[in-house]
Structure 1
Amino acid sequence: MSSTESYCGPSHRVHSAYESRSLPNSPHSNELLSNEPPSSDVLEFYRQKVAILAADDEYFQKQLDEISEAIDHQHSLRIQLQEKEDAIMNLKNQISKLETDLHAERNHVLRLYAENDRLKLREIDARRMIEQLKRLADMSFATPSSCSSLHRIGVRRDPLEGYIDENEKMLGKEKCEPDLDNAQRSLVALQKQFTEQTMAFEERIQSLLVDQERRIRDEGERAEMYRTREAELFDQLKRSQLILREMVSEYLHLRLKHRISEKAWIAEKEELIGCINLGVLDSKLDLFQNKPTTFQLNSTPLPRLFKTELSDELNYEKLEGFQKREWELRRTIEELEAQFDQQHKLVKRYRNQVLQIEETKLKIMEECSQSKNICNSKIKQLKERSQLCTKRYEDLERRRKHEIEGYQTDIRSLKRKLADAESKLRQVIQEAETETGTLVKDRNPWKTIKMSAETPRSKFLEEELWKLKDLMHVLSTKTT
């Protein structure tokens, strides 16, 4: 730490060496002025004061540079904060869009579940019908065409055969009724489950929309609050900059004026001391004394207290040449001391303002750091939510593909079963035709086919086959 100044943190003030200086009428200054010759000590004393003022000026310039750097850094932080807020708003909009897409995909998946359940119920019905057809094909070992031909030919039929067929039909109906009841119950339960799920998801979507609207409203209010806060801080910054500029211009003007007067006084002092050392005549000294100095031309009038003190101490008119010059030097020294006091007060005021600006700068930096941390945490949360949404969407897509593959395999199995049932029916019909052909050789085959097609059992079988074909066609179109 130098002898001219000492700076200890933002809450301490700068102490200059001229604060502890002696007054013009103090014993130290009187001893310096009363010595013969007084040139070297006085010049050294005031040169030290000039050096101290120059050091204070350099320190104040450094403080101003630091303040300008802090203001630029504050502007850059404000711009970064605005960019982060814009990025957060964009991420929130994207997340809201992802949530809406996710809910739409969820509704689509629920519809697929419902369609899958309907297809399963239809598959159960188709299996039941295929089992009935198989049972009927097994029961009707003798085909309707053979029975009708035998009846027309005159072959005797067993009287218990119709009763047995009716009993078998009743048994088949009794077996099918519990399956139908179970299927209806499962269908009603599925319908209730689907209605409850749709209601729950609709309520969830409405609550999410309300949350999104509230979040958007809160973000708008927060953005308005930040804008108003930014405008207030910008106004305060402008005002502080204007005050600093005015103070700096005033300080520089006073410093320039002081330096000019100091140089002129030093030149006159050196000239006077040179004359004294060389032993100049009294006439030349009188001319030099009568010559007006720059301090006398530029200096302000002396205060009344100083005039009264001087008038009480000595009479100006009774002084001789060197004493008169010494009195003028004391007067100029008093004026310089007054100017130094004014500059010291200005420096104190500037220092206090600089400390206030530094405190505001620290507060703004803390607010910016807090807002940065909040923004980073929000961005992390939004990224995690977006990753979860994408994972759920991928899982739903994968599940949908597996369901479509399951539907395709079910349709293939149903087609295979239908083809097996048709082949079995064809075999049964061919066997019946061969038996009827052995019994009735002379009969026309077209008539027998026509007669067999007109029987009620054959019509029932044809209707069931057509229903199965229509069902398979509907299932294939829906899956494609």
Structure 2
Amino acid sequence: MPRTTSENHNHPHPGSATTKSTKKVTIKNGSGIPTIEERLGYLRPSRELLEFYRRKIAQYDNERDDILQKFDRCKVAYEEKHKLEWELRKRESEIVELQKAISDLQIYLFQEREQVLRLYAENDRLKIQELQDRKKINRLLNLCGVTEEEITYFIKEPPGVGIVPQKILPVVVNEQRSSSSHKKDLVEQKSSNISSQIRDNETLSLQIEALQAQLEEQTKLAKEQIESLLEDRRVRIEEYDVQRKRDEERLKQAQEKIVQMQNLLHESTKDVIESKFDLRNAEKQWLHEKDQLLQELDKTAAHEQRKEDEILFLNTSNHIQNTSSAASILLQENAYFEEERKKYEDEIHALEQQHIQTHKLAEMYRNQVLALEEQLCKIREEGDVTREIYKVSYFFCIYRI
């Protein structure tokens, strides 16, 4: 029986190899947290694990394709919207140019009308000047005594041009004047003075009529110019109000989008920081539990080694006492050692069960760590996608502004 016990304890314990391998892994990775590849290297891949990762990869690929399709649809919608906005701005610029052209045409029209009025005034002045010249000619003819048949007119204007009709009284010329009749001279002088006054009055009346016509035309033109300027001012004010309201609406939308983007960025940054903090806490907890498990494994291995040494020492002393002692003492000692051996075997069995449970806990914590790492990868991917969406939205917002 003692020999059997010594042989059983000389065999290496299955937990001791696991403890040594765990110590090696701890020493190897003690400088820092091992990477995912190193951790996966210690796992035993199975079909279920491979199928799980295949499903995850397929799911991520489908999500990526859906996100890309959504981005493409958003891009097409934004392109169409920008195209319509560009066409609208182009039409607005064309409308502004046409309005400027209409204003220029109105200015040119007013200038031409002013030129026409100046020509009318010049024509009236020339007609009045012509009447005055004719009066002077008639006065000179009356003084010189020239008959009506001897009067000659030189017309420089082409035929067909209207001339202001004259109301010249017929000149009475006395072909024979007597030198002795002083009374007739006085009568003729009075009649000539009266006729000259009548002609002057007609000239003045024509001047007054021409000036009144010019004043009416100038007043009408000025009134039309003022009305046109007021209409142009009203149109400009309406356009300015519409443009101002449109700019205010765009500015308000841009400010709302900026605030929304800032809130989204704040929330995304907060979520990323919280996820990093949770991951670090999980890593700290995992490392703490790992250290506790390693300490328990070290204690178990040391206790097992100590028990093996004690059993070996007891077996050796029992063999020596059997050769030198009596049969009765040997039987008593053998019974005592048998009880001790059973007790130690029970303790070893309990330690083995404890070691198996510790190994199961380590596997469970390892699976939890892998799940947390997978969740962290997913959170990082979501953070990257959110960051990309924010960048695209921010660029679109800046472009629209």
TM-score normalised per structure 2: 0.50
**Distance in structure 2 (CA, Å) of the matches to 1:329 and 1:391:** 90
Would you say 1:352 and 2:220 are equivalent positions? yes
| 1:326–1:443 distance in 2 versus 1, CA, 3 Å | farther
Structure-2 residue corresponding to 1:378: 246
| 1:254–1:374 distance in 2 versus 1, CA, 3 Å | same
The correspondence for 2:231, drawn from 344, 355, 363, is 363
Would you say 1:206 and 2:67 are equivalent positions? no
Task: Quote how far apart the aligned CAs of 1:378 are.
Answer: 0.6
**Distance in structure 2 (CA, Å) of the matches to 1:432 and 1:205:** 64
Amino acid at match of 1:400: S
Structure-1 residue corresponding to 2:90: 220
The correspondence for 1:414, drawn from 282, 294, 306, is 282
Percent identity over the alignment?
Answer: 11
Task: Quote how far apart the aligned CAs of 1:246 are.
Answer: 5.4
Task: Quote how far apart the aligned CAs of 1:427 are.
Answer: 2.5
| 1:469–1:183 distance in 2 versus 1, CA, 3 Å | closer
**Distance in structure 2 (CA, Å) of the matches to 1:228 and 1:303:** 44
Amino acid at match of 1:435: H
**Distance in structure 1 (CA, Å) of the matches to 2:75 and 2:197:** 92
Give runs of ≥4 in structure 1 deviating > 3 Å: 149-155, 181-202, 248-259, 302-305, 314-319, 455-476
Deviations 1:161-184 (A, max 9, x none): xxxxxxxxxxxxxxxxxxxx9999
Deviations 1:30-81 (A, max 9, x none): xxxxxxxxxxxxxxxxxxxxxxxxxxxxxxxxxxxxxxxxxxxxxxxxxxxx
Task: Quote how far apart the aligned CAs of 1:200 are.
Answer: 4.2
| 1:419–1:459 distance in 2 versus 1, CA, 3 Å | closer
SS in 1 for 2:167: helix
**Distance in structure 2 (CA, Å) of the matches to 1:425 and 1:349:** 112
**Distance in structure 2 (CA, Å) of the matches to 1:379 and 1:202:** 29
Would you say 1:229 and 2:104 are equivalent positions? no
**Distance in structure 2 (CA, Å) of the matches to 1:199 and 1:365:** 51
**Distance in structure 2 (CA, Å) of the matches to 1:470 and 1:402:** 22
Deviations 1:247-302 (A, max 9, x none): 3576489679989x99xx9xxxxxxxxxxxxxxxxxxxx99x949xxxxxxxx9x9
**Distance in structure 2 (CA, Å) of the matches to 1:184 and 1:420:** 32
Amino acid at match of 1:387: Q
**Distance in structure 2 (CA, Å) of the matches to 1:193 and 1:474:** 16
| 1:197–1:316 distance in 2 versus 1, CA, 3 Å | farther
Unaligned stretches of 5+ residues in structure 1: 1-148, 156-180, 266-285, 292-299, 445-451
The correspondence for 2:301, drawn from 433, 452, 459, is 433
Amino acid at match of 2:91: E
Deviations 1:128-150 (A, max 9, x none): xxxxxxxxxxxxxxxxxxxxx98
**Distance in structure 2 (CA, Å) of the matches to 1:150 and 1:435:** 18
| 1:385–1:316 distance in 2 versus 1, CA, 3 Å | farther
Would you say 1:339 and 2:207 are equivalent positions? yes
Would you say 1:391 and 2:259 are equivalent positions? yes
**Distance in structure 2 (CA, Å) of the matches to 1:351 and 1:463:** 103
| 1:357–1:152 distance in 2 versus 1, CA, 3 Å | same
**Distance in structure 2 (CA, Å) of the matches to 1:424 and 1:350:** 108
Would you say 1:241 and 2:111 are equivalent positions? yes
Amino acid at match of 1:231: A
Deviations 1:391-435 (A, max 9, x none): 011101211220121122122122112212212221221232132
**Distance in structure 1 (CA, Å) of the matches to 2:164 and 2:72:** 90
TM-score normalised per structure 1: 0.43
| 1:412–1:394 distance in 2 versus 1, CA, 3 Å | same
**Distance in structure 2 (CA, Å) of the matches to 1:216 and 1:394:** 28
**Distance in structure 1 (CA, Å) of the matches to 2:235 and 2:279:** 66
| 1:376–1:304 distance in 2 versus 1, CA, 3 Å | closer
Contact 1:418 1:468 in 2 (8 A): yes
| 1:316–1:378 distance in 2 versus 1, CA, 3 Å | farther
| 1:389–1:443 distance in 2 versus 1, CA, 3 Å | farther
Deviations 1:189-227 (A, max 9, x none): 898777656644542342122111111111112202211
**Distance in structure 2 (CA, Å) of the matches to 1:303 and 1:428:** 134
Task: Quote how far apart the aligned CAs of 1:237 are.
Answer: 0.6
Instruction: Determine which structure has more spread, i.e. the larger CA radius of gyration.
Output: 2
**Distance in structure 1 (CA, Å) of the matches to 2:364 and 2:298:** 20
Amino acid at match of 2:102: E
Would you say 1:329 and 2:190 are equivalent positions? no
Amino acid at match of 2:86: I
SS in 1 for 2:309: coil
Structure-2 residue corresponding to 1:306: 167
Structure-1 residue corresponding to 2:346: none
Amino acid at match of 1:412: R
For residues 34-45 of structure 1, what are the structure 2 equivalents within 5 Å?
A: none
Amino acid at match of 1:369: I
Contact 1:316 1:324 in 2 (8 A): no
Contact 2:128 2:203 in 1 (8 A): no
Task: Quote how far apart the aligned CAs of 1:330 are.
Answer: 0.6
SS in 2 for 1:403: helix
| 1:187–1:410 distance in 2 versus 1, CA, 3 Å | farther
Return 239-248 or 351-360, whichever deviates more: 239-248
Deviations 1:431-472 (A, max 9, x none): 32132122222899xxxxxxx9xx999999699869959986
Contact 2:127 2:164 in 1 (8 A): no
User: Which gives a bigger RCO, structure 1 or 2 (Cα 8 Å, sep 6+)?
Assistant: 1
CA RMSD of aligned residues (A): 5.4
Task: Quote how far apart the aligned CAs of 1:342 are.
Answer: 2.6
| 1:383–1:474 distance in 2 versus 1, CA, 3 Å | closer
